[in-house]
Structure 1
Amino acid sequence: MTSATSSPLSTQTVELSPSYTLPLVLIVAAVPLLLIKIWVSLVIAVFGLFLLFQAATIRLQFTETALDIYRSETMIRRFPYQEWQNWRIFWSSVPILFYFKEVKSIHFLPILFDPKMLETCLEQRCPKS
């Protein structure tokens, strides 16, 4: 977190920690699938490796006004909260997918970040109506 500790969390910039759970589960699940279907196993393993790379390089920052997405030090996208209509984390017991809808578009992101902090930031900055 950045900013003074006396200000509320909703006004601080919060960068989510990466979570490698989803990519590692996919990679491990691909191993026994080698005995059943090699091509299915390879597809799942490659997807897991892709998500592992994304978790290592992509950063989500919740600012006071927007969700910013960075690759290393470069901002690649900004999503102002004022344009959000709805959001949801699918399968809250085992969070794997984050959905949010803006005025003109819908977004689905795999959970490659700390799911508890993601939900906390969303509830503070974009409360569900």
Structure 2
Amino acid sequence: MESALLCASRFVPSTIKHYSEVGAFGRNFHTSFCVQVPYSNSLLSRNTGTARRSRIVIASVVGRKVKKETIIPDPDYRIPVVLLGMAGALVYVDNLSAAVPVGLLGLLLLVQTTRVRFVFDEEALEVKIGDQLQESGPNAFVGGKNRWKYSTFVNWELWWPNFPILVYFKEKQTKPEGQVHFFPIIFNGKQLYDVMVERCGSSKTSAPK
């Protein structure tokens, strides 16, 4: 609950003229209750007369919920670069049958790294597209919007945390019995892990080292 400084006038004497020094301070805050604090009139006025004791109301921020910032992990090109390097090595040894699918996967992940973003807002994880954070549309595999509230997460893990390859999580928003999701980690693995711990709770086994 917030309240304005409506109760100030009953404590501050009308004879005090030079209280602007604390007035600006008081106006910058909201409060859920009023606190009566004694002050010395000589501190608020340059008059040389006898200091008088009075009371002012100090506004305080108490119990206010701090809004969580939106976090977007940085893109990480290591996986597509490794795959493309493997494809090149396979071409070098004339193993084209293996080089083609590995190379195509590397190209796909390279493109996706430039465009796909994980956006962690105050209440949910959402997949968005591009630097302008455009809507990604419905999920191609399970349907529904690519946005899942943290409160619906059952568990999650980073696979191979020393060089994170996949992020896995299970949520109950898509269907009551739970829906599993796998995403290649084309983002900064440490940033992804830290924000997942903060917003979704601790992971049991996958802390990156």
TM-score, structure 1 length as denominator? Answer: 0.88
Question: Which one has a bigger Cα radius of gyration?
Answer: 2
How much has 1:52 moved relative to structure 2? 0.4
Question: Is 1:61 equivalent to 2:119 in the alignment?
Answer: yes
Which amino acid in 2 is paired with 1:23?
P
Q: Superposition pairs for residues 1-80 of structure 1, below 5 Å?
A: 11-34=68-91, 35-72=93-130, 73-76=133-136, 77-80=146-149
Q: Distance in 1 between matches of 2:95 and 2:181?
A: 31
Q: Which has the higher contact order (CA 8 A, sep 6+)?
A: 1
Runs of 4 or more consecutive aligned structure 1 residues displaced over 4 Å after TM superposition: none
Equivalent residue for 2:154, pick from 81, 85, 89 = 85
Whose helix proportion is higher, 1 or 2? Answer: 1
Which amino acid in 1 is paired with 2:79?
L
Contact 1:99 1:106 in 2 (8 A): yes
- Segment of structure 1 superposing worse, 101-110 or 44-53: 101-110
- The SS at the match of 2:75 is coil
Q: What RMSD over aligned residues (CA atoms) do the two structures have, in Å?
A: 1.7
Point out where structure 1 has 5 or more consecutive residues left out of the alignment. 1-6
* Paired positions, count: 122
Which residue pairs with 2:141 in the alignment? none
Which amino acid in 2 is paired with 1:31?
G
What percentage of residue pairs aligned between the two structures are identical?
A: 33
- Segment of structure 1 superposing worse, 44-53 or 76-85: 76-85
Deviation string, structure 1 residues 12-60 (Cα, Å, up to 9, x no partner) = 1001110000000000011111215202101100100000000000011
Which residue pairs with 2:189 in the alignment? 115
Contact 1:95 1:111 in 2 (8 A): yes
Q: Distance in 2 between matches of 1:21 and 1:14?
A: 21
Whose strand proportion is higher, 1 or 2? Answer: 1
Q: Distance in 2 between matches of 1:50 and 1:78?
A: 22
Point out where structure 2 has 5 or more consecutive residues left out of the alignment. 1-64, 137-145, 173-177, 204-209
Deviation string, structure 1 residues 62-100 (Cα, Å, up to 9, x no partner) = 111000110123122211111110000001111111000
